[in-house]
Structure 1
C-alpha cells in the first residue's frame, strides 16, 4: 500500500489526486515571462491610446483589469495551451449614453495602429490587440455613471454587422465584482506557499527551500492565493476542453467565477473544492431547467447586471453543461478513494484537461516522486509532507469497485435573477 510521511504542518497536496490536479493547474498558468509583461503591455497600450493626435487624447480616466485578470484566474485559452486572453477596461471621459457604435469606433481608431505583429481588431464590445507570443488584450471601453459606487459603468454593445437598432448599453460593475470575489477568497497562506513553490520549481525559478511565504522575492510573484481560485481555473479548463469543437458561445467564465466566490470558504482540499464548485453550478442549472427557465446569474455588486445574458441560448445548452459537471464531480469523488495506476489517471486527466497540460504535470509529478524516493525524506520544506509510493498505484486506499458514487449536493438558494 502507499506510505505517507507526515511532518509538522499539513501539506495541502499530500493526497496524490490533489497533487496531480495542482500540477495540471500550474501547466495552465501564464508563464513567468508573460506574467511579467502583462502590466507593461497594458500601460503601453494606455500610453498609445492617449498619445498626441489620438482621438482619445485627454479622454482616458484609467485602465484597470477585469474578469480573470482581476481575480488572478487567467488560464491558457480554449483550444490551445499557448494563447492567453487578458481583459482590460478603459474608463473614458465620455457621455455614458453615447452611441455604442461610435464609442467602439473611437477606441479602435485610437488603437488600430498599435505596433503588434498579429494586428488589432474591433469586436462587438471591445478592441482586441494580438501579440506574436500568443497573448492578446481585450480592451473594453466603459464610461462611469454619475452618483454610483464602485465604478458602476456602461459598456457598449455594437456588432458592426448588425443594424443600429440592435446596439445597446450594458450596465456593469467589474470592479465591484472583483472586490467581492477577493473578499470571499482571502489568502490561504499554506496553500499559496506550496502552490507557488511548485510553480517556481516547474519553471526552474529558485526560491530558498525553507523560505517563508512572505520572504519570497518580489521578482517571483504569487500566481494564485487560494484553493477556490485554482479550482476555478481547473473548472474553466475542463469547460474549454469539453467545448473545444463548439462553434457558438460556451458557458461564461464570469458565471463560473461567481459560483467560485460563493463556494469559497472553510478548509478544503483542491479536489473537494473542484467537486463543490462543479456540483453548485450543476445544481443551479438543473434548478432553472426544472422550472423551464434559463439560469440567471447576477453580479453580487450590481444585481441588475446579468452574467448569463448571452449564454445559455436555450434549455438544452444548460442541461448539457449540468450533465457534464455532474459527471466530472462524480468521477473526481470516485478517484479520491479508488485504486488506479498512473497511466490510467493520466488518460482520464488528458480527456478532461488536455493532453499537453497533463503531460507536463505528470512529468513534474514523476520528478518529485523520484526525488522523494531517492532522498527518503521530505521533498519541499520541514513544515510540509511528502507522498512516497511503494507500489505502482497512484491514488487510493481501497478497491475501486467498492466506491459508491456520491449523491448530488443539496440545492442552493443564494442566486439572484435578471430579466431575460
Structure 2
C-alpha cells in the first residue's frame, strides 16, 4: 500500500531538517559572506554558492545522538599571480583566525576551512579558483592544500544535473527519495556510501522518457519503488566495483575510495531493501503495510496512526476480559496467565526482517532487575513479574536446556515492544529490533506504566537466518 500521506508526515516530522535550522544556516552564511567581502583576503571574490546536500536539497536531520549537520559553501575566486594551491586555503584560514568571532570556531582541512557552530552545524568554506579561457568555457579548480595542487571541479555542473533529473521526475520526488535513502543509511548503519555517490546512483536511474511518454512517478512511494528497483537491477548486473563518475565532470570518480567489500555490502543491502519496499508497497492490508514500511524506516513511520490503532486494539483486549480495567489492573486482578492472551500483532510491532532457518534452536531469556545498566543484580525476574518504574532490567539470551551462552557464530537481536497509554502519550510505542551488548544481553530501563515485552531472536551471522526465537518475556510496570 502506498500510504502517501504517511510518507508526507514521516518526511515532515522525522526526516527533513527543520526549517528553523535551515533559516539559521542561511543567516550564518550571509554573515560569513559579508565578513569575507569586507576582509583583507586578497583574491577577488566572484560569487558564493551552496554546494553538496544543502545545494541539492537532500539535507536531512542528523541521526539520533548527533545534533550537528554539515553544509558546504563555495567561494569562487579570481586567481592571484604566484599563489599556489595551498596559499588560497592557508590565507582563508588566516582571515577567519584573525576574527574574534571566528577564531575559536575555525579549523582547516585539505581543501577548505571549517567553521564549527558547536551543537548546530559545521560549515565547510571551499575556495575554488575560476580561470577564464578566451576560446572556451571557464574552468574551475579546487585548492588541495595537503598536496599543494589544483584539482578540476565542475563548478555548478553537478548541482544543475541533479536539478534536471529531479525536474524530469516531478513533484520533488527524486529529492525526497534521496532523503529517504540517506535516512535509511544513517539510521540503520548497514551500508556506507557518501552522499554525492548515493545521489549520483539515484539520479542516473531516471530514464530519458519517464516523464515524457510514461507516468512513471505519480507519487513518492512509487518513485521510491521504481528508483530502488532500478538501482538493484543495475547493481546486480555489476558484481565488480564499477567506476561511478561525476556526470558533470567525466574522469572524476566518486567510487575511488570505495572498496570491493564495501560495494558488495551495499549491493546486498539494496537488494534486501528492494524486497522490503516491494513487499510493503504491494501489501493490501493497511495495518500490515504499515508494519512492513516500519521494518524499513523504523518506529517513527506512521507513529500517529500506530498509536491510535494500538490503543484501540489493547482496549478491545482489556474490555473483552474485564470491563473498565487497564492492562496493569487486569494483570493484578486476573494474574499473569492472562498475558498469554495478549495480542502479539499490535500495529507498532515491526515485521521480522530476517528469514527463518530450517532448523530452530530453543532460546530462553533470563532476566534480573538492576537499578542501572552496569549495577548489581537486585533480584531474578520471570516473565510477567511486576516491577516499579525508574528501575531497569538486564536480559540475556541463553540455550533453553543448559542455560549456556550461544557460540560466536550467532548474534541476538531483541524485539522490544512498549504498549499502553503512558508510552503512547510519550511517543514511545516501540516494536522494533535492537542489538545486543556483550554476552547476547540487553538492558532496558523501566519508564512507563503498562504491559511490555521483549523477545530474543537468534541469528546466524554468516547466513543472517533466524535460528531460534524465545517466547515473549512480559514486563509489567506498575
- The one of 267, 278, 292 equivalent to 1:322 is 267
Deviations 1:192-222 (A, max 9, x none): xxxxxxxxxxxxxxxxxxxxxxxxxxxxxxx
Q: Is the 8 A contact 1:145 1:151 kept in 2?
A: yes
Please report the TM-score for the alignment, with normalisation by the length of structure 2. Answer: 0.55
Between the aligned partners of 1:234 and 1:393, the Cα distance in structure 2 is 22
Match of 2:165 in 1: 184
Q: CA RMSD in A?
A: 3.8
Deviations 1:35-79 (A, max 9, x none): 223332212112222324x3x145222110112122211112356
- The one of 252, 270, 274 equivalent to 1:305 is 252
The structure with higher relative contact order (CA 8 Å, sep 6+) is: 1
Match of 1:138 in 2: 124
Between the aligned partners of 1:116 and 1:257, the Cα distance in structure 2 is 32
Match of 1:260 in 2: 202
Between the aligned partners of 1:152 and 1:282, the Cα distance in structure 2 is 35
Between the aligned partners of 1:149 and 1:37, the Cα distance in structure 2 is 39
Q: CA 1:157–1:20 in 2, change beyond 3 Å: closer, same or farther?
A: farther
SS at match of 1:336: helix
Q: Is the 8 A contact 1:125 1:140 kept in 2?
A: yes
Match of 1:271 in 2: 221
> Greater shift after overlay, 123-132 or 272-281?
272-281
Q: Is the 8 A contact 2:246 2:252 kept in 1?
A: yes
- The one of 134, 137, 140 equivalent to 1:153 is 140
Q: Is the 8 A contact 2:102 2:115 kept in 1?
A: yes
Match of 1:208 in 2: none
Q: Is the 8 A contact 1:91 1:144 kept in 2?
A: yes
Q: CA 1:29–1:187 in 2, change beyond 3 Å: closer, same or farther?
A: farther
Q: Is the 8 A contact 2:96 2:103 kept in 1?
A: no
Match of 2:242 in 1: 295
Q: Is the 8 A contact 1:181 1:261 kept in 2?
A: yes
Between the aligned partners of 1:104 and 1:157, the Cα distance in structure 2 is 8
Matching of residue 111 in structure 1 with residue 96 in structure 2:
yes
Please report the TM-score for the alignment, with normalisation by the length of structure 1. Answer: 0.62
Match of 1:362 in 2: 302
Q: Is the 8 A contact 2:142 2:151 kept in 1?
A: yes
SS at match of 1:50: helix
Q: Is the 8 A contact 1:297 1:306 kept in 2?
A: yes
Q: What aligned pairs does 1:205-244 form with structure 2 within 5 A after superposition?
A: 226-243=172-189
Between the aligned partners of 1:306 and 1:278, the Cα distance in structure 2 is 22
Match of 2:34 in 1: 47
Between the aligned partners of 1:99 and 1:134, the Cα distance in structure 2 is 33
Tell me the CA shift for residue 157 of structure 1.
2.7
Tell me the CA shift for residue 288 of structure 1.
4.2
Matching of residue 338 in structure 1 with residue 280 in structure 2:
no
Q: CA 1:142–1:38 in 2, change beyond 3 Å: closer, same or farther?
A: same
Q: Is the 8 A contact 1:62 1:92 kept in 2?
A: yes
Q: CA 1:184–1:57 in 2, change beyond 3 Å: closer, same or farther?
A: same
Q: Is the 8 A contact 2:166 2:174 kept in 1?
A: yes
Q: CA 1:172–1:298 in 2, change beyond 3 Å: closer, same or farther?
A: same
Matching of residue 123 in structure 1 with residue 109 in structure 2:
yes
Q: CA 1:366–1:334 in 2, change beyond 3 Å: closer, same or farther?
A: closer
Tell me the CA shift for residue 323 of structure 1.
0.7
Between the aligned partners of 2:130 and 2:95, the Cα distance in structure 1 is 20
Deviations 1:202-244 (A, max 9, x none): xxxxxxxxxxxxxxxxxxxxxxxx1111001111121223438
Instruction: Give aligned pairs, total.
Output: 305
The structure richer in helix per residue is 1
Between the aligned partners of 2:116 and 2:194, the Cα distance in structure 1 is 21
SS at match of 2:204: helix
Between the aligned partners of 1:187 and 1:96, the Cα distance in structure 2 is 43
User: Max radius of gyration: which structure?
Assistant: 2
Q: Is the 8 A contact 1:118 1:132 kept in 2?
A: no
Q: CA 1:333–1:344 in 2, change beyond 3 Å: closer, same or farther?
A: closer
Q: Is the 8 A contact 1:339 1:393 kept in 2?
A: no
